[in-house]
């Protein structure tokens, strides 16, 4: 087992660049998720780590070992595929032992290891069944057991839960995380599902158009997105186009269509600069009257009100024409379409983005 | 739900199909039991049924049957040796002229067997003229011809299976430490095995039943079973031919049942098809 290091990896196909100068330092035992829309280069990055494709330039290290140019079968990887890719002609037990046979384990050792793994994935009774005779969730667990049977340097997972239904997916997220932590294995996980990424990861790498937009813990990425793309991709967000009016020590006064907005901000910005202001829907409160001076407050009309059980999703069309999405408690917020209201939020809930 | 009208239509249609397919065989097997005197016209239903004609099957027909089975088995095996690598190579590569090469592998299907037969015979004579190596009327000569007509059946089924093959299975094997050859041996071949079986069954049948080509490649004392039957019919028909045919029909049924027991005929028929999934 070891960490994984990517140095300035570039992968291009003709004139298209799939992965553009990606550097990553994955720590030993870390669960790292590559997150992004389809075509962002996350799967290509995973396949580069696995060795199924080779980088156009750059280097990949597993621990101290340079594995660039080495074929996948010599890399000591574990790989889990979206559609499981279990061998249909082999039983569950034989699938799990496949890699052990290739690595020339003793017969007795293979038997012992297979039963250990069946216990780990809680499928002891399925050892002699064929892949066609088990459910999707079970197949996925077998795929994981097969991948980690001979302890790999890194466990690579390519949207492994994509084919499962929502309920099962959530159970499997916990399950995968448990297995990964029990084995203390380094894991790289690819998904386009942000909630999956948030639930499972130690760190998330948000990718877009072949480059890394941001790396950080789920919490960090959610509360401090570095770009409009990341803010939009992780959860819901309201973006307002503003200009910098004045810049003080830790607060910036913004101009939004002639109205003043106060934002807490550590960046130093020059006056008149155009920026994007990001505010999360759950940080906004709706009131009938304008809130006190300490808060930002804008006037508008309720244009949509959706009740979805635990939250009320309200859209407010501002005087400027922009629409602000708000999420709030259903009990305390009984607003109807057409109501004239104020949307209010604290300066510390503002996030100023430059691109 | 089916209405009773639909059930009746389905029943009648299926019944008709079975009668259409099975009646020739039933007639042959029935007539083989003819108990009376020799008669040039077949009698169905048999008069005074007996197995008398079964005892009169000429020995050379059994010899021919033995030869046919050996030739068909070896030809099928050789066809597999050619078709499996060819299909693997052609499905997975992309080169100029791939279409032409694929067509060549299927070409024997389009050539009438009688033309192939004449061509092989002339070709063997040409070789003999130049090297005094005589292939016509020998086992190798017969085998070459049979491999030629059997290979396209093998090739076609395996291509169909490979086109549906999930290449991730091979990637999974690589990720588990298996190199190219190990992956071929432990994953690719076993996964396409149902295709090889069903292609093999076709190839065997084509070789076993061939008359138009084989008739040119036989020699006195070296005749395949269907050709032997053909000669017998042509020269001196008697009901022992029916008896002999009936034996082969029974033999084929037993073989099919055996295959059914071993791999499951459904798996086999479904495969132009994927894996056991």
Q: What tens digit of pLDDT does each residue of B138-152 get?
A: 899 999 999 999 999
Q: Tell me the CATH number at A89.
A: 3.40.50.300
Select from A232, A256, A273 the last residue of a domain: A232
- How sure is the predictor about B275, in pLDDT bands with cuts at 50, 70 and 90? very low
- What is the model's pLDDT at position A310? 84
Q: What is the mean pLDDT of chain A?
A: 90
Select from A177, A198, A232 the last residue of a domain: A232
Please tell me which of the candidates B174, B177, B276 has its beta carbon nearest to residue A89.
B276
The verdict on B176 touching A (C-beta cutoff 8 Å) is yes
Q: What percent of chain B has pLDDT over 70?
A: 93
Task: Say yes or no to pLDDT of A288 above 70.
Answer: yes
Output Rg (C-alpha) for chain A, integer angstroms. Answer: 25
- What is the model's pLDDT at position A19? 92
Residue B40, token pair as written in the block: 């040039």
The verdict on A93 touching B (C-beta cutoff 8 Å) is no
A210 and A240 both lie in a single domain: no
Mean pLDDT of B162-180: 92
Contacts with A147 from chain B: Cβ below 8 Å? 175-176
A177 and A71 both lie in a single domain: yes
Task: Say yes or no to pLDDT of B72 above 90.
Answer: yes
Chain B CA closest to residue A91: B276
A261 and A227 both lie in a single domain: no
A63 and A132 both lie in a single domain: yes
Task: Say yes or no to pLDDT of B272 above 50.
Answer: no
Mean pLDDT of B206-228: 91
Q: What is the pLDDT of residues B29-55, one digit of tens each?
A: 888 888 777 766 777 787 788 888 888
Task: Say yes or no to pLDDT of B267 above 70.
Answer: no
The verdict on A14 touching B (C-beta cutoff 8 Å) is no
Contacts with B171 from chain A: Cβ below 8 Å? 52, 72, 79, 81, 85
Task: Say yes or no to pLDDT of B274 above 60.
Answer: no
- What is the model's pLDDT at position B13? 95
Rounded Cα distance between A79 and A144, Å, is 8
A206 - beta bridge partners?
Answer: A35, A214
What are the structural domains of chain B? 59-270 (1.10.3720.10)
A40 and A78 both lie in a single domain: yes
Let me know: does B153 contact B203? Beta carbons within 8 Å. Answer: yes
Q: What is the pLDDT of residues A197-219, one digit of tens each?
A: 999 999 999 999 999 999 999 99
The verdict on A324 touching B (C-beta cutoff 8 Å) is no
The verdict on B171 touching A (C-beta cutoff 8 Å) is yes
Select from A232, A248, A270 the last residue of a domain: A232
What is the number of domains present in chain A? Answer: 2
- What is the model's pLDDT at position A219? 93
Q: What is the DSSP string of A173-208?
A: HHHHHHHHHHHT--EEEEES-HHHHHHH-SEEEEEE
- Let me know how long chain B is: 277
- Select from B28, B57, B80 the least CA-distant residue to B207: B80
A204 and A65 both lie in a single domain: yes
DSSP A348: G
Q: What percent of chain A has pLDDT over 70?
A: 99
ipTM attached to this prediction? 0.83
A251 and A223 both lie in a single domain: no
Q: Tell me the CATH number at A259.
A: 2.40.50.100
Q: What is the pLDDT of residues B61-71, one digit of tens each?
A: 899 999 999 99
- What is the model's pLDDT at position B172? 95
Task: Say yes or no to pLDDT of A324 above 80.
Answer: yes
- What is the model's pLDDT at position A293? 77
A118 and A132 both lie in a single domain: yes
Q: What's the domain range around A193?
A: 4-232
A228 and A249 both lie in a single domain: no
A34 and A168 both lie in a single domain: yes
- How sure is the predictor about B266, in pLDDT bands with cuts at 50, 70 and 90? low
Distance (Å) from the alpha carbon of B115 to chain A's nearest alpha carbon? 42
Mean pLDDT of B94-108: 89
A223 and A246 both lie in a single domain: no
- Select from A215, A217, A195 the least CA-distant residue to A207: A215
- What is the model's pLDDT at position B277? 32
The residues, ordered by sequence, that sit 6+ positions from B45 with a Cβ below 8 Å of its Cβ are B30
- What is the model's pLDDT at position A189? 95
A219 and A276 both lie in a single domain: no
- What is the model's pLDDT at position B77? 96
């Amino acid at each position: 087992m070891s960490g994984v290091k990517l140095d300035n990896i570039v992968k291009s196909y003709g004139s298209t660049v799939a992965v553009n100068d990606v550097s990553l330092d994955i720590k030993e035992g870390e669960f790292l998720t590559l997150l992004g829309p389809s075509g962002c280069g996350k799967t290509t990055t995973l396949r580069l780590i696995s060795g199924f494709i080779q980088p156009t330039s750059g280097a990949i290290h597993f621990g101290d070992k340079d594995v660039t140019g080495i074929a996948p079968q010599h890399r000591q990887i574990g790989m889990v595929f979206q559609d499981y890719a279990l061998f249909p002609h082999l039983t569950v037990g034989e699938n799990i032992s496949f890699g052990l046979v290739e690595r020339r384990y003793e017969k007795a050792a293979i038997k012992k290891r297979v039963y250990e793994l069946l216990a780990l994935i809680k499928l002891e009774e399925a050892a002699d069944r064929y892949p066609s005779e088990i459910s999707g969730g079970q197949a996925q667990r077998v795929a994981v057991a097969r991948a980690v049977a001979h302890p790999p340097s890194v466990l690579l997972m390519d949207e492994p839960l994509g084919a499962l239904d929502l309920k099962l997916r959530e159970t499997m997220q916990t399950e995968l995380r448990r297995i990964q932590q029990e084995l203390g294995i380094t894991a790289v996980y690819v998904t386009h599902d942000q909630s999956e990424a948030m639930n499972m990861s130690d760190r998330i790498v948000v990718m877009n158009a072949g480059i890394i937009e941001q790396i950080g813990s789920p919490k960090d990425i959610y509360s401090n997105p570095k770009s409009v793309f990341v803010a939009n991709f992780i959860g819901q967000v309201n973006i307002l186009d503003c200009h910098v009016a004045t810049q003080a020590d830790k607060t910036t006064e913004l101009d939004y269509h002639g109205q003043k907005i106060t934002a807490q901000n550590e960046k130093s910005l020059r006056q008149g600069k155009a920026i994007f202001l990001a505010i999360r829907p759950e940080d906004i409160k709706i009131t009938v009257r304008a809130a006190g001076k300490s808060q930002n407050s804008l006037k508008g009309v309720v244009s949509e009100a959706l009740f979805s059980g635990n939250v009320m999703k309200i859209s407010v069309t501002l005087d400027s024409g922009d629409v602000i999405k708000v999420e709030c408690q259903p009990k305390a917020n009984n607003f109807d379409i057409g109501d004239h209201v104020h949307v209010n939020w604290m300066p510390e809930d503002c996030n100023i983005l430059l691109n | 739900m089916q209405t009773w009208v639909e059930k009746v239509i389905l029943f009648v249609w299926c019944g008709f199909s079975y009668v259409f397919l099975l009646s020739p065989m039933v007639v042959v097997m029935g007539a083989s039991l003819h108990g009376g005197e020799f008669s040039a016209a077949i009698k169905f239903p048999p008069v005074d049924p007996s197995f008398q004609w079964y005892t009169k099957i000429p020995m050379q027909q059994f010899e021919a049957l033995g030869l046919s089975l050996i030739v068909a088995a070896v030809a099928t095996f050789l066809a597999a040796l050619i078709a499996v690598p060819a299909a693997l190579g052609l499905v997975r590569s992309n080169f100029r002229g791939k279409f032409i090469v694929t067509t060549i592998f299927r070409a024997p299907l389009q050539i009438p067997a009688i033309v192939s037969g004449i061509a092989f015979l002339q070709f063997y004579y040409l070789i003999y003229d130049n090297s005094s190596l005589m292939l016509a009327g020998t086992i190798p000569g017969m085998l070459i011809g049979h491999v030629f007509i059997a290979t396209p059946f093998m090739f076609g089924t395996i291509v169909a299976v490979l086109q549906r093959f999930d290449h991730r299975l091979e990637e999974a094997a690589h990720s588990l430490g298996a190199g190219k050859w190990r992956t071929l041996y432990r994953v690719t071949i076993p996964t396409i095995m149902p295709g090889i079986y069903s292609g093999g069954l076709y190839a065997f049948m084509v070789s076993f039943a061939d008359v138009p080509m084989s008739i040119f490649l036989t020699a006195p004392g070296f005749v395949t079973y269907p050709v032997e039957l053909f000669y017998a019919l042509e020269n001196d028909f008697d009901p022992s031919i029916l008896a002999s045919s009936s034996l082969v029909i029974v033999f084929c049924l037993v073989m099919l049942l055996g295959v059914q027991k071993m791999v499951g005929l459904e798996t086999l028929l479904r495969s132009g098809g994927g894996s056991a999934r």
